[in-house]
Amino acid sequence: MVLTLPQLCARLGIPVPTLAGRPVTIQGVSTLELASETDLCFAERLDQTARVATSHAGAILVPLDFPILAGPRLIRVPDPRAGFFGIAESFIPVPDTRGIHASAVIDGDAVLGEDVAVGACAVIAGGVRIGARCLIGPGCYLGPGVTLGADCRIEANATLHRDSRVGARCRIHSGAVIGGDGFGYQWDGQAHRKVPQLGRVEIEDDVEIGSNCCIDRATLGITRIRRGTKVDNLVQIAHNTDIGAHAILVAQAGVAGSATVGAGALIAGQVAISDHVEVGAGARVGGQSGVTRDVPAGAAVFGTPARPMRETFKELAALAQLPRLLKQFKVQRREIEALERRLAELERGR
């Protein structure tokens, strides 16, 4: 991928500026510090001015009100971050998997859409339906009855167990396991008896699942990940959960069985959500929180147990004062004891 200045500006939807020096030729993207003369960078804050001034980037996207600098070639846009990442998408490496690898094992009852690519040692079971232009990476396993919508990308060594359903334009990263058994046991008086996990997982359109995530099939019914949701690496989503549209779940979060996460909610890293709890739409849960009861829509909570974020921060700030207050208390207690002794001496002298 090579972009000239006119091509770059056409993609950004802006007029072509006049830039001094040699012609702009963009062949990649990078940071201000590491960029070469063929890289595109961006800056969005005025406190980055010094870094921009010393960057070797071929061109730098900056806000409309960014200072005029001699040296770096600045391209002024309304939203540098959005413009930069829109261009950066063009430089994502194209996977080298094309066609069906000779070592792939594909059941005769599976149906593959137009231009599907299947990598080495992938296994596709009977009844699988794969939409057009999907990419199945090396070592993947698609169990009986799995369905994929068009334009999905399943990275190397991901596993989709039986009857899992994935919408269009989804991306499932390496090592993810979709549709494994939920964690359900019943004590029979002598041992833990496994509860049959007979449901399935349904993932709607435009969802991304990070590496080594586990999304368990429902005990009965459906574990559902709704449209546009993004799940970071190492997230556990248990059986019969319902994750709303466009939610964000950050690394090492865990959602227990039958919990609900509303649309647009943000679940930060290492958050634990208890079973049957409902996190409302647009709620924000701070990192390492333990959610043991329902969270209202739009609320911001933090801590274990999770409570309103502002109150929790005030309490933590007060807690930080305890060592000083304890020291002050000890001093005052000694002073009071000295006064009591003096008072006792005065009373004895009467």
Give the neighbor-by-neighbor strand order of the sheet with 260-261: 111-112, 129-130, 147-148, 165-166, 200-203, 222-225, 242-243, 260-261, 278-279
Strands (E), 70-188: 74-76, 105-106, 111-112, 117-118, 123-124, 129-130, 135-136, 141-142, 147-148, 153-154, 159-160, 165-166, 171-172, 177-180, 185-187
Identified catalytic residue from 56, 101, 239, 246: 239
**Cβ burial, residue 26 (10 Å; 0-12/13-18/19+):** buried
Q: With 0-12 CB in 10 A as exposed, 13-18 as middle and 19+ as buried, what is 15?
A: exposed
> What is the spatial distance between Cα 124 and Cα 116, in angstroms, rounded to a whole number?
12
> Which of 297, 313, 312, 306 is CA-nearest to residue 273?
306
The verdict on whether 239 is a catalytic residue reads yes
Cα 182 to the chain's mean position, in Å?
22
Q: Do residues 40 and 105 make contact, with C-beta atoms less than 8 angstroms apart?
A: no
Residue 21 phi, psi dihedral angles, 5° rounding? 95, -165
Question: Mind telling me the catalytic residues?
Answer: 239
